[in-house]
């Protein structure tokens, strides 16, 4: 039985969800499943955008057959040849022998690598910027090499402003009946999975993602259809903002991600103490036991936070196994531009700190703190000063909110980023800020720009209601 979702009057989702898959690509846990998205455009000519993984082939072909309703399938646009999006391509060619393949040269080469198919007289070879007119729609093809395979391209529907984005803007997790990101609480329920997907699947290729973002910057994008996860039709700036940060390795938040490897609990106890001391100073922390937390989650957290603390026991004169794997994985994903600190432990020869430092020092623009804490089996009361020194070194490098600017007429104006207000429109808004580690907010109904002390400042007009 078919299960399709209408996106626009002539565009339909014909993909499928897989909730039985335990490990995506055999590496990344997907406890909430994954979606394999395929889209059918029913214009004067019919166009299918990518196929799906073989695990959901039955549902996929039932969906395509239902939506075609006896019509001919004219084109299949192949944007990415990874088998989770192409494994059913050969069967599609058998079911629809007249369908034409729209792809670039690299994709066509990969098709012949994966399948024994004759592409003569059935392939349209496209170049960067080429277009395809389907009747009421004009499709423009944009190459996106190494996002995250070399053959990748995306497709922009110039008529509707829809970007078929291949693996870009994807998310782990089955769709559960919803198709649009605005149908769910994406920020709280799915943003972590979007981050984990990006950082682990695409994260290594930040410069290539930046290149794609530059290519699409001038396009009037109104909707994004990715090959995994939800369709974006509202608040596109939210996901674009994340991709700018992730692809430039810019931390989303100031705070400390603490990853520890502890065999008998002594290293863990020290990590707990450090985290508690940092929290006492108003610094956000998150903690992960590398022995039980999937590496993909820790990698995603490393992309999110500004500071990284690695605490590991020494094991066989080296780094504890799971910590060593994590650090090499982080380096392989091009983590960079972070402040990093270390805690090492060893009952007779603590060497893990030196070795962890060597791995992280090989990453770009890493600021390695000198205050490595060394334990001999366990933390001693007389090491309080060393704990204090490490906590202070971390604290001193975390940006703080600037104090209010006091003027002659404006007594409580904060230094703020004027770009924030570019997103404002008419209505009531809750304006929030943080001062002295306290969250503050008020309901406002407008914002005006003015000059103060030679700088652009903004004055917010409060309503009579206060939060």
- Domains of the chain by residue range: 5-247, 253-396, 401-467
Residue 421, Cβ density class (10 Å: 0-12 exposed, 13-18 middle, ≥19 buried): middle
With beta carbons less than 8 A apart as the criterion, state whether 127 and 104 touch: yes
Question: Quick one: how far is CA 127 from the chain centroid?
Answer: 28
85: left (phi over 0), alpha (psi -120 to 50) or beta: alpha
Q: What is the pLDDT of residues 163-197, one digit of tens each?
A: 999 999 999 999 999 999 999 999 999 999 999 99
Q: Determine the 3-state secondary structure of 129 from DSSP.
A: coil
294: how many CB neighbours lie within 10 A of its CB? 17
pLDDT exceeds cutoff 80 at 247: yes
What does the alpha-carbon distance between residue 327 and residue 216 come to, in Å, rounded to a whole number? 33
pLDDT exceeds cutoff 80 at 336: yes
Identify the pLDDT of residue 277. Answer: 97
Q: What is the pLDDT of residues 72-116, one digit of tens each?
A: 999 999 999 999 999 999 999 999 999 999 999 999 999 999 999
Identify the pLDDT of residue 459. Answer: 43
Fold of 253-396: Rossmann fold (3.40.50)
Query: What would the two tokens of residue 148 be?
Result: 């995250």
Q: What is the pLDDT of residues 388-441, one digit of tens each?
A: 999 999 999 998 644 444 444 444 434 444 444 444 454 566 667 666 556 677
Identify the pLDDT of residue 440. Answer: 72
Q: What is the DSSP letter of 1?
A: -
What does the alpha-carbon distance between residue 368 and residue 386 come to, in Å, rounded to a whole number? 17
What does the alpha-carbon distance between residue 196 and residue 74 come to, in Å, rounded to a whole number? 36
Q: What is the mean pLDDT of residues 337-363?
A: 95
One of 1.10.3720.10, 3.40.50.2000, 1.10.1040.10, 3.60.15.10 is the CATH number of 5-247, namely 3.60.15.10
List all residues 6 or more positions away from 234 whose beta carbon is below 8 Å from its beta carbon. 180, 181, 182
pLDDT exceeds cutoff 60 at 289: yes
Number of residues that this document lists for the chain:
467
Q: What is the mean pLDDT of residues 269-292?
A: 97
pLDDT exceeds cutoff 90 at 448: no
Identify the pLDDT of residue 410. Answer: 45
| CA pseudo-torsion sign 373, 327, 312, 22 | positive
Give 454 or 130, the one with higher predicted confidence: 130
Identify the pLDDT of residue 367. Answer: 96
Query: What would the two tokens of residue 346 be?
Result: 């060893």
Q: What's the whole-model pTM score?
A: 0.83
Q: What is the pLDDT of residues 113-136, one digit of tens each?
A: 999 988 888 999 999 999 999 999
Q: What is the mean pLDDT of residues 22-46?
A: 95
Query: What would the two tokens of residue 123 be?
Result: 């392939």
Q: What is the mean pLDDT of residues 297-303?
A: 97
Query: What would the two tokens of residue 254 be?
Result: 């100031």
With beta carbons less than 8 A apart as the criterion, state whether 350 and 374 touch: yes
Identify the pLDDT of residue 427. Answer: 55
Mean of per-residue pLDDT scores for the chain: 89
């Amino acid at each position: 039985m078919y299960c399709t979702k209408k996106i626009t009057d002539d565009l339909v989702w014909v993909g499928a969800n897989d909730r039985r898959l335990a490990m995506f690509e055999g590496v990344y846990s997907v406890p909430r499943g994954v979606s394999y998205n395929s889209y059918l455009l029913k214009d004067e000519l019919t166009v299918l955008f990518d196929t799906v993984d073989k695990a959901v082939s039955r549902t996929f072909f039932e969906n395509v057959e239902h939506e075609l309703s006896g019509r001919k399938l004219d084109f299949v646009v192949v944007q990415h040849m990874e088998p989770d999006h192409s494994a059913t391509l050969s069967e599609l060619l058998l079911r629809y022998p007249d369908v034409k393949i729209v792809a670039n040269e690299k994709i066509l080469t990969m098709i012949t690598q994966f399948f024994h198919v004759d592409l003569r007289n059935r392939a349209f070879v496209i170049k960067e910027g080429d277009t395809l007119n389907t009747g009421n729609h004009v499709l423009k093809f944009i190459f996106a090499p190494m996002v995250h395979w070399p053959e990748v391209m995306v497709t922009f529907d110039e008529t509707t402003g829809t970007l078929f984005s291949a693996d870009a803007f994807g998310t782990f997790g089955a769709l559960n009946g919803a198709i649009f990101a605005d149908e769910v609480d994406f920020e709280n329920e799915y943003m972590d999975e979007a981050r984990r997907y990006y950082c682990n699947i695409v994260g290594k290729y930040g410069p290539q993602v930046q290149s794609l973002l530059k290519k699409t910057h001038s396009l009037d994008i109104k909707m994004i259809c990715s090959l995994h996860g939800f369709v974006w039709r509202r608040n596109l700036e939210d996901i674009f903002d994340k991709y700018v940060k992730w692809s430039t390795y810019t931390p989303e938040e100031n705070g400390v991600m603490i990853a520890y490897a502890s065999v008998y609990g002594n290293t863990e106890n020290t990590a707990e103490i450090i985290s508690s001391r940092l929290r006492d100073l108003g610094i956000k922390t998150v903690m992960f036991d590398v022995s039980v937390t999937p590496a993909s989650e820790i990698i995603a957290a490393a992309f999110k936070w500004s500071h990284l603390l690695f605490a590991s026991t020494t094991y066989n004169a080296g780094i504890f196994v799971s910590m060593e794997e994590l650090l090499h994985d982080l380096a392989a994903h091009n983590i960079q531009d972070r402040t990093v600190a270390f805690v090492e432990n060893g009952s007779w020869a603590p060497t893990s700190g030196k070795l962890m430092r060597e791995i992280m020092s090989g990453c770009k623009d890493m600021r390695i703190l000198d205050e490595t804490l060394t334990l001999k089996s366990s933390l001693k009361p007389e090491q309080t000063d060393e704990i204090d020194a490490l906590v202070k070194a971390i604290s001193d490098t975390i940006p703080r909110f600037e104090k209010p600017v006091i003027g002659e007429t404006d007594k409580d104006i904060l230094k703020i980023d004027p770009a924030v207000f570019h997103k404002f429109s008419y209505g009531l808004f809750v304006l929030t800020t943080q001062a002295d580690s306290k969250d503050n907010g008020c309901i406002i109904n407008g914002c005006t720009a003015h000059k103060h002390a030679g700088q652009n400042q903004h004055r917010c007009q409060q309503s009579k209601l206060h939060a």
